[in-house]
Amino acid sequence: MPVFPGTESPSMTVPCTIEKDGFRETEIRMYSHVGTHMDAPAHIIDGGATLDAFDAASFGGAAVVIDIGTLRKDEIGISDLLPHEESIIESDFVLLRSDWSNFWGKEDYFKGYPVLTGEAARWLATLDLKGIGIDMISIDGEGSQDLPVHHILLGNNVLVIENLANLGELPASGFTFFALPLKFEDVDGSPVRAIAVI
């Protein structure tokens, strides 16, 4: 599985088999931010909330897909989001579709993807959103050290879901999105099962 550069890849082994032990059991070793996953404020914010501090209702709700791939821009500003303002305000989740997921498994997946400007992230953070989802490796740009968009969104308890896929199969709105993390205490993030109910 492609992982953020510097992160150890996940591994799965089968230490117990039906032939040897009478049952099968798989050992899974992975970091909390691999694959399609959710960032909690504690991922970036010192003393920020961990995922277990969020009510289960925080992980699902009405969603809107905004196609940013057609813009052919490196940065997505407020002016790119305002045409969708009414749909955004009526939603719990904003899913930014860049189609960058088409590069999954290739080196191009890790570079050149579009990112929100700080101004656009601050505007989104003022709305009553549960989360922002993207079909890219990170909500901040390649090589970013200070992670400004993470800080803005997570600092306002807006969850971030990264490495989504198949956003092109969804309607622009009128569906329910779920990103369900594993329930662990004091966790800064978790792989999620992301689904849409249309």
> In one letter, which amino acid is 126?
T
Q: Are 58 and 130 in contact (CB under 8 A)?
A: yes
| Both structure tokens of 136 | 């890219």
What's the alpha-carbon Rg for the chain, to the nearest Å? 17
Q: Which of 182, 198, 185, 195 is nearest to 33 (CA)?
A: 182
Q: Where does the chain hold its CATH 3.50.30.50 domain(s)?
A: 32-197
Measured between alpha carbons, how far is residue 31 from residues 10, 36, 111, 131, 176 in Å? 7, 12, 21, 21, 28
Locate all alpha helices (DSSP H) within the chain, ordered by sequence: 18-21, 78-81, 85-89, 118-126, 148-155
| Per-residue model confidence as pLDDT tens digits over 25-48 | 999 999 999 999 999 999 999 999
What is the CATH T-level fold of the domain 32-197, as seen in this structure? Glucose Oxidase; domain 1 (3.50.30)
Partners of 115 in beta bridges = 75
| Both structure tokens of 131 | 């989360």
> In one letter, which amino acid is 74?
D
Q: Are 96 and 76 in contact (CB under 8 A)?
A: yes
Residue 2's pLDDT band (cuts 50, 70, 90): confident
| Per-residue model confidence as pLDDT tens digits over 98-146 | 999 999 999 999 999 999 999 999 999 999 999 999 999 999 999 898 9
Measured between alpha carbons, how far is residue 26 from residues 13, 14, 15, 29, 84 in Å? 6, 4, 6, 10, 44
- Indicate if the pLDDT at residue 167 is higher than 90: yes
SS3 content of the chain, % helix, strand, coil (to 5): 30, 30, 45
Q: Kindly report the pTM of this predicted structure.
A: 0.95
Q: Are 149 and 132 in contact (CB under 8 A)?
A: no
| Per-residue model confidence as pLDDT tens digits over 85-94 | 999 999 999 9
Q: Nearest 5°: phi and psi at 129?
A: -100, 145
